């Protein structure tokens, strides 16, 4: 039975930029597990296999229903053979650090710029729900949040830190990508698929790493459809 991964879609159902869904895709790709994605909207939770959870990614493997990207990581690591997503407790600790660092140094500045652009590309039936839920989170309108001074500058400052290990290493995992790379790159894939605007300047080392990530798994991420 084919594994199914439920994945957020925009107005074009083939455009799927959710960073959390990309984390789950990378986990399965890393493990070499065949899967198919199922597009679902933001608002109509009746289309979700777990309506009570109401969030994606959701993975269906036979009778198993796994919600949340972290749980999907854990499930893939335990269930499927192949290269581990992390090779040691030290790599896992590094992944936890990068997650915490991104949550405090990237997401707070990415999200205000991204939400208004995701809203613009969302299906008309999803726009009211998306606006309401995100504006509750931001405490202001999408447009006000996107106009916050200094967002690009704060991201550029953070990316100088991210560039430091990439000057010496091909991936955050060293010679090959691991969970830290997938978690971090999924943020940039969110941006890449949602808009073709250049919202900030990317350090050369980070840009080169992004190209290496796009080449993984026969260019799976590179070939993903983008908002035109």
Specify the length of the chain in residues. Answer: 228
pLDDT at 225 over 90: yes
Domain chopping of the chain, boundaries: 3-79, 89-219
Instruction: Assess contact for 40 and 48: CB atoms under 8 A.
Output: yes
Give the separation between CA 41 and CA 118, rounded to whole angstroms. Answer: 12
Fold classification of 89-219 (topology level)? Glutathione S-transferase Yfyf (Class Pi); Chain A, domain 2 (1.20.1050)
Instruction: Assess contact for 19 and 186: CB atoms under 8 A.
Output: yes
* Domain at 3-79: CATH code: 3.40.30.10
Tens of pLDDT along 54-106?
Answer: 899 999 999 999 999 999 999 999 999 889 999 999 999 999 999 999 999 99
Give the separation between CA 98 and CA 87, rounded to whole angstroms. Answer: 16
Give the separation between CA 226 and CA 119, rounded to whole angstroms. Answer: 15
Instruction: Assess contact for 37 and 49: CB atoms under 8 A.
Output: no
């Amino acid at each position: 039975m084919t594994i199914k991964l439920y994945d957020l879609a925009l107005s074009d159902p083939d455009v799927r930029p959710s960073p959390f869904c990309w984390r789950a895709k990378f986990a399965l790709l890393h493990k070499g597990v065949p899967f198919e994605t199922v597009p679902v909207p933001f608002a109509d939770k009746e289309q979700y296999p777990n309506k009570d959870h109401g969030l994606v990614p959701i993975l269906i493997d036979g009778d198993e229903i796994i919600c949340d990207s972290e749980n999907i990581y854990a499930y893939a690591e335990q269930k499927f053979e192949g290269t581990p997503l992390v090779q040691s407790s030290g790599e896992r600790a590094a992944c936890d650090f990068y997650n915490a660092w991104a949550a405090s140094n990237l997401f707070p500045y990415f999200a205000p710029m991204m939400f208004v652009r995701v809203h613009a590309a969302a299906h008309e039936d999803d726009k009211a729900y998306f606006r309401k839920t995100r504006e509750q989170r931001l405490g202001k309108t999408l447009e006000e949040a996107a106009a916050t001074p200094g967002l690009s500058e704060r991201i550029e400052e953070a990316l100088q830190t991210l560039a430091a290990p990439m000057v010496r290493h091909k991936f955050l995992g060293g010679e090959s990508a691991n969970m830290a790379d997938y978690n971090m790159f999924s943020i940039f894939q969110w941006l890449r698929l949602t808009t073709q605007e250049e919202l900030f300047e990317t350090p050369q080392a980070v840009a080169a790493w992004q190209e290496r990530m796009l080449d993984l798994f026969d260019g799976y991420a590179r070939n993903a459809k983008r908002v035109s």
